[in-house]
């Protein structure tokens, strides 16, 4: 499936394909109002060329970028923030207060990711993380608005996928840029309508908080949601039940595993989660398993890892309660 490096969505907004792992997996969004630009999420270091190309396609320059706003600091959303800030001298980085320290000093992020992926894979997929000076960062308060030309970009704290997640509402378009809070919705599986599922990647999956975040986002009555994974979808209130059901299905998979021995747990979770995602996509789209399974394999693996971490946290809390 051929996808452009960037595309005009209307409302002075462009989707930029970050080209992580494969086309149409991870996006960021460039918004323009007057002579000012904002970038919501920014992919990895390797996403820089297509971001700069998209800025030029809008008739802008890196000097016009006012805001760089990662929804959270997972590397597919914020790994390229430091190098992008170097190319955008007048930009300020905005993200959740829990995320800002990792943007100022990304050494822990890089060390943790390198330990998971290995040095070669980390360099290939993400590249070196660059620190950002504290003076160029803002820790966004819940509901804080940031002016962009004649519009406002308002940052809402939305824990659930991550405890430092935020979503951004554009006052001009009514679109909500949701990072991972509105789940995964790959275009290849949007047949005949979007197929939206949860992403429970490590390390801070919180299903109860996530459901509350969805309540809050839907109360804003956005006209569309713009997902990092992947693209813009209208009628979010109609799509939300599918995501809510997926969150609950992941919880039930994890709880069914909770009483089992921890040895081999992650692999068992992976097999069950993959079956959930792939079977659901087959039923939704009518596409064959061999077409769908490769698209969702990595997400199933990451979701399983996140559920294993969630179960470990639950076990730790139970142990602490016994000690009290």
Give domain status of residue 45, yes or no: yes
Q: What is the pLDDT of residue 211?
A: 98
Mean pLDDT value of segment 235-264 = 96
* Bridge pairing between strands 151-157 and 144-148: antiparallel
> In the predicted model, is pLDDT for residue 220 greater than 80?
yes
CATH number, domain of 19, equals 3.60.15.10
Quickly state the pLDDT bin for 2 (edges 50, 70, 90).
low
- Asked if residue 305 and residue 218 are part of one domain, the reply reads no
* Bridge pairing between strands 36-40 and 65-69: parallel
Give domain status of residue 194, yes or no: no
The model's pLDDT over 286-298, given as tens digits with 9 standing for 90+, comes to 999 999 999 999 9
Helix (H, G, I), strand (E, B), or coil: what is residue 46?
Answer: helix
Give domain status of residue 164, yes or no: yes
Closest to 276 measured CA to CA, from 195, 204, 187: 195
Q: Domain range spanning residue 266?
A: 243-318
> In the predicted model, is pLDDT for residue 1 greater than 60?
no
Quickly state the pLDDT bin for 61 (edges 50, 70, 90).
very high
User: What is the residue-averaged pLDDT of the chain?
Assistant: 95
- Asked if residue 255 and residue 227 are part of one domain, the reply reads no
- Asked if residue 265 and residue 207 are part of one domain, the reply reads no
Q: Where does residue 249 rank: exposed (0-12), middle (13-18), buried (19+ CB within 10 A)?
A: middle
Q: What is the pLDDT of residue 324?
A: 63
**What is the total count of domains within the chain?**
2
> In the predicted model, is pLDDT for residue 259 greater than 80?
yes
- Asked if residue 162 and residue 56 are part of one domain, the reply reads yes
Within the chain, where are the H helices? 48-57, 75-78, 81-87, 100-104, 107-117, 119-125, 207-219, 236-257, 265-285, 289-323
Give domain status of residue 324, yes or no: no
The model's pLDDT over 84-133, given as tens digits with 9 standing for 90+, comes to 999 999 999 999 999 999 999 999 888 888 877 788 988 899 988 999 99
Give domain status of residue 133, yes or no: yes
- What span, in angstroms and rounded, lies between the C-alpha atoms of 144 and 146? 7
- Asked if residue 49 and residue 139 are part of one domain, the reply reads yes
The model's pLDDT over 159-169, given as tens digits with 9 standing for 90+, comes to 999 999 999 99
- Asked if residue 33 and residue 127 are part of one domain, the reply reads yes
Residues 6+ apart with CB under 8 A from 319: none
Among 178, 208, 237, residue at a domain's last position: 237
Give domain status of residue 323, yes or no: no
pLDDT higher at 201 or 115: 201
- What span, in angstroms and rounded, lies between the C-alpha atoms of 57 and 87? 17
pTM summary value: 0.94
- Asked if residue 101 and residue 33 are part of one domain, the reply reads yes
Task: Measure CA 7 to chain center.
Answer: 19
Q: Are 228 and 70 in contact (CB under 8 A)?
A: no
Q: What is the pLDDT of residue 267?
A: 96
Give domain status of residue 1, yes or no: no
- What span, in angstroms and rounded, lies between the C-alpha atoms of 315 and 320? 9
- Asked if residue 281 and residue 157 are part of one domain, the reply reads no
- Asked if residue 251 and residue 206 are part of one domain, the reply reads no
- Asked if residue 256 and residue 140 are part of one domain, the reply reads no
- Asked if residue 119 and residue 154 are part of one domain, the reply reads yes
Among 212, 237, 262, residue at a domain's last position: 237
> In the predicted model, is pLDDT for residue 322 greater than 90?
no
- Asked if residue 175 and residue 39 are part of one domain, the reply reads yes
> In the predicted model, is pLDDT for residue 25 greater than 70?
yes
Mean pLDDT value of segment 296-318 = 93
């Amino acid at each position: 499936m051929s996808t452009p490096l960037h595309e005009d969505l209307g409302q002075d907004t462009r989707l930029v394909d970050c080209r992580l792992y494969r086309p149409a997996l991870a996006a960021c969004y460039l918004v323009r109002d007057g002579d000012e630009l904002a970038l919501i999420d920014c992919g990895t270091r390797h996403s820089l060329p297509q971001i700069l190309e998209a800025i030029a396609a809008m008739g802008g320059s890196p000097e016009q970028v006012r805001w760089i706003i990662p929804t959270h600091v997972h590397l597919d959303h914020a790994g390229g923030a430091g190098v992008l800030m170097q190319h955008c001298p007048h930009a300020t980085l905005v993200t959740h207060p829990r995320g800002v320290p990792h943007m100022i000093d990304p050494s822990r992020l890089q060390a943790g990711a390198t330990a998971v992926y290995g040095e070669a894979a980390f360099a290939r997929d993400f590249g070196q993380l660059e620190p950002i000076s504290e003076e160029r960062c803002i820790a966004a308060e819940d509901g804080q608005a940031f002016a962009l030309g004649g519009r406002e970009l308002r940052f809402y704290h939305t824990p659930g996928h991550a405890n430092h997640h935020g979503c951004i509402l554009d006052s001009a378009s009514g679109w909500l840029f949701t990072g991972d809070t509105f789940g995964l919705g790959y275009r290849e599986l949007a047949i005949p309508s979007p197929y939206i599922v949860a992403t429970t990647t490590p390390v801070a999956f919180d299903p109860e908080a996530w459901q509350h975040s969805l309540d809050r986002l839907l109360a804003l009555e956005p006209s569309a949601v713009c997902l990092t994974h992947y693209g813009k979808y209208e009628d979010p209130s109609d799509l939300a039940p599918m995501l809510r059901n997926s969150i609950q299905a992941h919880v039930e998979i994890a709880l069914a595993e909770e009483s089992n021995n921890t040895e081999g747990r992650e692999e068992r979770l992976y097999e069950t989660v993959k079956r959930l995602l792939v079977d659901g996509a087959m039923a939704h789209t009518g596409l064959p398993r061999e077409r769908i399974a490769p698209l969702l394999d990595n997400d199933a693996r990451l979701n399983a890892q996140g559920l294993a971490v969630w179960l470990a946290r639950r076990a730790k809390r139970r142990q602490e309660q016994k000690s009290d």
